[in-house]
Structure 1
Amino acid sequence: MGYKCIFSFKGQLPEMTKRIEFLGGIKVSTGTINCSLYLERVPDGSNLIPREFHLLLYDEKPKKCFTVCRDTIVETDREMVSILEKTNSYKKRQTTEALISKYELGDFIIRVGPIVFRTEIRGILVEVEYTACSTPVTSPFNCTKLLSEFINGNLGPFPEPIQTSFDFSAYPTLPKSYSDLHTSYQYVNLFRTIN
């Protein structure tokens, strides 16, 4: 797995896909990414503040889901969804969905598509992965400058330069190597700003 940068912008999807295809990007698949907010059920009249967490589901990982709660991110089996439904201890409050198309372009994988919240398109999601950072010799975190140049120089123009480095210090349990947990952190933070 290479280093990923995930962002959204207010623009037109056809323009972005034309840029990707003009650069030589080849569409290889489609899918969805779902981010649901769950709230703890508390007794009526209680002064307790319900705990909450986000649950991420990726079509590309049909057996896994990712749970983000406060300063913890964990990868769990997809059975987590049915357990939540059966125990009835948490209720799903809202879901944001990205309907993505995946493109391959040299050392880059680009996922792009509309972000839908309550049937309304809230922006265009772009995930750019630099796969050459996945070699053991290269630290994925050292690839942010190259990723920034690729995104801002080829996929823009954007109103402001896209930030490609992220502060993961809020989640001290994350592994040192970039992983799906880091990607989930980026998605949850993005979806929080959209709702």
Structure 2
Amino acid sequence: MPIKWILHWQPNPGTTVNSQILSEVSQCAESINGVKEGRWKSTLSFYKAMAREQTLANDFPRDFVGISLAEQPNKYFLVIRGQRLVVEAESSIQMIMEKLQSYKTRVALNFEGNQYQLGDFQLRVGKVVPMHSESLRGIVMEMEYLPISSWEKSHQIMGEFFDLWQEALSKRSLPGHFVHIEPNFAEYGLADQYSLQHTAVQYASITAQMIATSQSVQATRN
């Protein structure tokens, strides 16, 4: 499948994300001839173990991330960052976990926005909001290059496109910038050929980064 980078918005020190920045980013995608192609939505949940006995707690992960991706909503991806595991399951596993009450959802986030086509590139610009809320927690962008599925071979062209994007966005003088953090996919046992599991690992990584950034901002204010 096509290669994809997932980026998140890093606000400048002393600033936060807001809907105006999201609007400007979307307008930037259109200004570089991006053709809007509809909406997209993915979801991510943080699960925490409900194990009542210490022996059980030692045998099972204390927490993990569950992800439903826009491309394949009938699948559900579990990312256990502590053990560097990513597992693909049927979406029905969410109902099973709920009935077993072995894990509890701590935080559930929606990633949703507009999709744009730019030649062989596809951009998805979206907001990050808690489920059942419109409180903006972050901004993400999926950058996909359709002709290549090799992570290594795609680096140069993805990097060049990202530079062009950053240059176009810089003209708007926004208080922040997009950041690309590349996970070590080999640690998760993932090969060079790109897959939805690569996407799930990226989402887990950027969400952890966004939460850490948000917490550090709050700590600074306090």
Which TM class, normalised by the smaller chain length? 0.7 to 0.9
Report the CA distance between 1:92 and its aligned residue.
0.8
Is the contact made by 1:151 and 1:162 (CA closer than 8 Å) also made in structure 2? no
Q: Which whole-Å CA distance do the structure 2 matches of 1:170 and 1:143 have between them?
A: 20
Report the CA distance between 1:169 and its aligned residue.
2.9
In the alignment, what sits opposite 1:133? 148
Stretches of 4+ aligned residues off by more than 2 angstroms: 46-50, 117-120, 154-167
Is the contact made by 2:8 and 2:138 (CA closer than 8 Å) also made in structure 1? yes
In the alignment, what sits opposite 1:19? 28
In the alignment, what sits opposite 2:220? none
Secondary structure of 1:169's counterpart equals: helix
Report the CA distance between 1:62 and its aligned residue.
2.0
Q: Which whole-Å CA distance do the structure 2 matches of 1:98 and 1:89 have between them?
A: 26
Q: TM-score, normalised by structure 1?
A: 0.86
Q: How does 1:46-85 map to 2 (within 5 A)?
A: 48=57, 51-69=62-80, 70-85=83-98
Q: Which whole-Å CA distance do the structure 2 matches of 1:165 and 1:132 have between them?
A: 20
Per-residue CA deviations over 1:2-61 (Å, capped at 9, x if unaligned) read: 2111111146112111121122211112122111011111228x5956611110012331
Q: Which whole-Å CA distance do the structure 2 matches of 1:62 and 1:162 have between them?
A: 26
Matched residue count: 189
Report the CA distance between 1:164 and its aligned residue.
6.7
Is the contact made by 2:43 and 2:108 (CA closer than 8 Å) also made in structure 1? yes
Report the CA distance between 1:104 and its aligned residue.
1.2
Report the CA distance between 1:165 and its aligned residue.
4.7
Q: Which whole-Å CA distance do the structure 2 matches of 1:13 and 1:161 have between them?
A: 12
Report the CA distance between 1:185 and its aligned residue.
0.6
Runs of 5+ unmatched residues, structure 1: none
Alignment CA distance shift 1:63-1:161 (3 Å)? closer
Q: Which whole-Å CA distance do the structure 1 matches of 2:156 and 2:70 have between them?
A: 29
Q: Which whole-Å CA distance do the structure 2 matches of 1:190 and 1:161 have between them?
A: 11
Is the contact made by 2:40 and 2:124 (CA closer than 8 Å) also made in structure 1? no
| Residue of structure 2 aligned with 1:123, choices 138, 141, 157 | 138
Report the CA distance between 1:100 and its aligned residue.
2.2
The reply to whether residue 143 of structure 1 matches residue 143 of structure 2 is: no
In the alignment, what sits opposite 1:2? 2
Alignment CA distance shift 1:28-1:170 (3 Å)? same
Is the contact made by 2:38 and 2:114 (CA closer than 8 Å) also made in structure 1? yes
User: Residue 176 of structure 1 aligns to which amino acid in structure 2?
Assistant: D
Q: CA RMSD in A?
A: 2.3
In the alignment, what sits opposite 1:170? 187
In the alignment, what sits opposite 2:217? none
Is the contact made by 2:45 and 2:107 (CA closer than 8 Å) also made in structure 1? yes
Is the contact made by 2:46 and 2:63 (CA closer than 8 Å) also made in structure 1? yes
Larger deviation, residues 89-98 vs 152-161? 152-161
* Higher fraction of helix: 2
Alignment CA distance shift 1:145-1:165 (3 Å)? farther
Alignment CA distance shift 1:142-1:165 (3 Å)? farther
The reply to whether residue 114 of structure 1 matches residue 127 of structure 2 is: yes
Identity %: 29
Is the contact made by 1:64 and 1:75 (CA closer than 8 Å) also made in structure 2? yes
Runs of 5+ unmatched residues, structure 2: 12-16, 212-222
The reply to whether residue 42 of structure 1 matches residue 51 of structure 2 is: yes
